[in-house]
């Protein structure tokens, strides 16, 4: 596995892991890489800094803390609660999201809450066709490290 620092054509910067440099190249060529901020599919490698070992952040009791925000951050807690509610009350349909959302919208399948994955162009077509969808502010656990 290799981690690359990436940037989209809108200059949003993010990191992602790949099986190899060749895997990155083939995904980019196929248009399967997207910016998590804006959905742009024009993604290139950015300048990377070498990893520097630092001490893990800790709270007052010496326990490790998450790097996503300061301890007790209300936004972090709100996102965690949103994730918990969605995962408890909706079905993860994974890569079948587009077909499931369209079938529910057209009445072919019974109405229910779902979440899953769609490429930006697929999501755009669903929206243009009046299918009510919204992006989630987190990766599903099936796609997170």
The ranges assigned to domains in the chain are 2-45, 74-128
CA-based nearest residue to 65, from 142, 73, 87: 73
Confidence of residue 67 (pLDDT cuts 50, 70, 90): very low
The whole-angstrom separation of Cα 132 and Cα 104 is: 10
The whole-chain average pLDDT of the chain stands at: 82
Confidence of residue 40 (pLDDT cuts 50, 70, 90): confident
Which neighbouring-strand residues pair with 2?
18
Per-residue pLDDT at 12 exceeds 80: yes
């Amino acid at each position: 596995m290799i981690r690359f620092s990436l940037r989209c054509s809108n200059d949003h910067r993010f990191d992602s892991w790949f099986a190899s440099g060749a895997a990155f190249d083939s995904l980019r060529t196929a248009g399967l890489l997207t910016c998590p901020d804006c959905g742009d599919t024009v993604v290139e490698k950015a300048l990377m800094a070498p990893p520097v070992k630092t001490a893990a952040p800790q709270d007052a009791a010496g326990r490790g803390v998450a790097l996503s925000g300061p301890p007790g951050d209300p936004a972090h807690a709100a996102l965690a609660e949103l994730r918990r509610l969605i995962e408890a009350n909706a079905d993860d349909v994974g890569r079948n999201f587009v077909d499931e959302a369209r079938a529910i919208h057209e009445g072919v399948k019974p109405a229910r809450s779902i979440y899953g994955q769609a490429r930006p162009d697929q999501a755009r077509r669903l929206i243009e066709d009046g299918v009510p969808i919204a992006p989630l502010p987190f990766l599903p656990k099936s796609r997170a490290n």
